[in-house]
Every structure is written in C-alpha cells, then in structure tokens.
Amino acid sequence: MKYLKWTLIVLAVLILLVVFVGMPYAQKQTKVHSPETTSVYAKKGIDLAVKYSSPHKKGRVIFGELVPYDVVWRTGANEPTTFTTKTNIKIIDKDLPAGTYSLWTRPKKDSWDIMFNSEVPDWGVTIMSGGKKTTRNPETDVVQIEVPVETLQESVESFTIRFDEYEELYLILSWDKTKVSIPINK
C-alpha cells in the first residue's frame, strides 16, 4: 500500500512537471524556428490584425508534401493563426462580424478553401496525431470561401501573411512559390 502511494505521488509530480514546465518550454522552442509575427491594416474605417507563426521553407517542398493537399492546415505553425477585425467586413461577399477568429486553410493544387472560425483553440493540432490532425471544429466556421492559387516566379522562404491594397484590399498568404489572395470589403 505504501509503495502504491509513493508511486502515485511520483507519477503526479511527473505529470505536473510535463504540464507546467515541459509544455511551455516546448512551445517556446518551437517559436525559435517559427517566430510569431503580426500583420496589421488600419485605413478607410477598417482595422484588422493577423497574428501567426512563420515557419521557413529550409529547402523542403511545402505544398503537397510538408503541407498536404486536401487536408485542413492550421495556416502557419504553433497556435492557430488569428484574424481580428474591429469592424464588420465581408470576405468576398460573406459577412464577417467584428471579432477574433482562427484562420484555417485547406490547400489544394489549384485553389484553397479559407475558413474563419469563431473558436481559437490553444494549439492548432492534436499531439496524439503527431501534428497531422487539427483542433478546428468545423461547426463553428463563420465564413468559408474558396480562392484560386497563384504561382510565384520567386520562392518565398518564410510563410508570410500580409495585407495588400491595389484595386481592393486583400489578405495575402504566400510561401514557397504559392500565393493566395483573399478579398476583403466593407
């Protein structure tokens, strides 16, 4: 009985060490390789911010291999990418109310599905799946659209999300030789 009690105490201490020391350390280390970045846009009565972790290409084939086609991706590394709007906007022709959303994508060879989700989970993938399964709940998608893929001439080393305004405002996602543009309207 005494042996069982000490075994349970040691096991509890080990679990607490993993949860309160090991996991925060691992999260901090992943950001060394995929630094956290924020892109902002504040003009014409629109106030937007995207917070994401930016992994690097490092000579790898990105889309179709590292990021498989036809599988939901957390759109960056580490925690899910968040998209915040302080005003009601439209993504193409779909209403997106003011708020903070997780941004998920399903890359395909010729187009991407883009999902704005009302839940922002702590981590973008499940540990038990080895990072292959996301924590996104599709039932809480607020907006889902499809946009075409553009092939770039030059490779982009770091995954990048930025705002670009030419004829209209776009949220641009680019990495390797792939670029997608998401139209944003008021």
Per-residue pLDDT of the chain (186 residues), as tens digits, is 677 677 766 676 666 666 565 555 554 544 446 689 999 999 989 999 999 999 999 999 999 999 999 999 989 988 899 999 999 999 999 999 999 999 999 999 999 999 999 999 876 655 554 556 677 888 999 999 999 999 999 999 999 999 999 889 999 999 999 999 999 998
Q: How many whole angstroms separate alpha carbon 177 and alpha carbon 80?
A: 22
Q: CB under 8 Å to 155, separation ≥6 — which residues?
A: 57, 176, 177
